[in-house]
Amino acid sequence: MPSERSVLLSLLVGLLHAVGLLTVAFNLGYTIGPSEYSLFGMAWRYGGLIAVATIPIWLAVRHRLVAPLVTLILTTGYVLGMELTPPGPTFRDVADLEQLSEPTGITVVENGLYIVRYMVNASVWTVGFLFLGLIEYVIRLDRDWLPTVRESRSWLSLPAGRPQAAIVAAAAGLLHTVVMTWFAFRLGVTVSGDVGWILYMVSSVGMWVLAAVPIYLLVRHRLIVPATLLTGFILLDVQAEFTASVDDPHALYFGAWFVYLGILLVAAGIEYGLRWSNLIARL
């Protein structure tokens, strides 16, 4: 069947994507072999590298969506380019950096770790690619002058009814919450004080609201800008983790989610107002 062939083809290319990146990483000297991780850790990292490519490829093969695939190609090309062009990764003991007489056994990598960070954060990239695909899906269905998507009526019609829009938005919000909250844990984003765990829970709920609102507006009212801005925030957030910095963009994204929500709501109001003004001008 065509659907089964598209899944198998996507999985095959996703596997080749992971094998290629891991081969480069091994040759550069990164200690990311199976013996370095638990079974779950190995499945999470290696499986993430497969999934992050499989999903955009499946969207392209099955639904003719090109935005996630183009973004995947650009991201993977950036990662490989940074790893393979001088200066290459340098492995140094902390003792060398701090001028200690005895080695510490702690290795610091300079000018590298792009593949490693891409692998570890693959789930965040995958969410960004999925949201990109949904945005293109809506745009292609909503614009008659664009090529149509394949099997466009199989699961989502535009504008979506309230129950269907609510289900899509809730699912997108849940996915965003799980991945971005895990991302905060992984990066060590903490809140000091006795009420720190309460603030962490509030931010987790905020992650759901931050994604559910623009996705609902996208599929229910066909407002493109809020969901596009959200996806841009996600991709810029995870892209910043390629380079070490004292600033943590995700701490701002996770802790000050209401600021981002305000930006999305303002953008939604502007887009909605422009649509009404154009409609009135045509009368």
153-157, 213-217, 223-227, range with the lowest pLDDT: 153-157
177: Cβ contacts below 8 Å, ≥ 6 apart: 204, 205, 207, 208, 211
120-132 pLDDT tens trace: 999 999 999 999 9
Q: What is the mean pLDDT of the chain?
A: 87
pLDDT given at position 239 = 94
Q: How far apart are CA 263 and CA 271, in angstroms?
A: 12
End-to-end C-alpha distance for the chain, whole angstroms = 49
By the 8 A CB rule, do 82 and 114 touch? Answer: yes
Which burial class, exposed, middle or buried, applies to 121 when counting CB atoms under 10 A from its CB (0-12, 13-18, 19+)?
A: buried
35-64 pLDDT tens trace: 889 999 999 999 999 999 999 999 999 888
77-121 pLDDT tens trace: 999 999 999 887 877 765 555 555 555 556 777 777 899 999 999
pLDDT given at position 96 = 52
pLDDT given at position 72 = 97
By the 8 A CB rule, do 242 and 230 touch? Answer: no
Q: Which residue has the higher pLDDT, 137 or 189?
A: 137
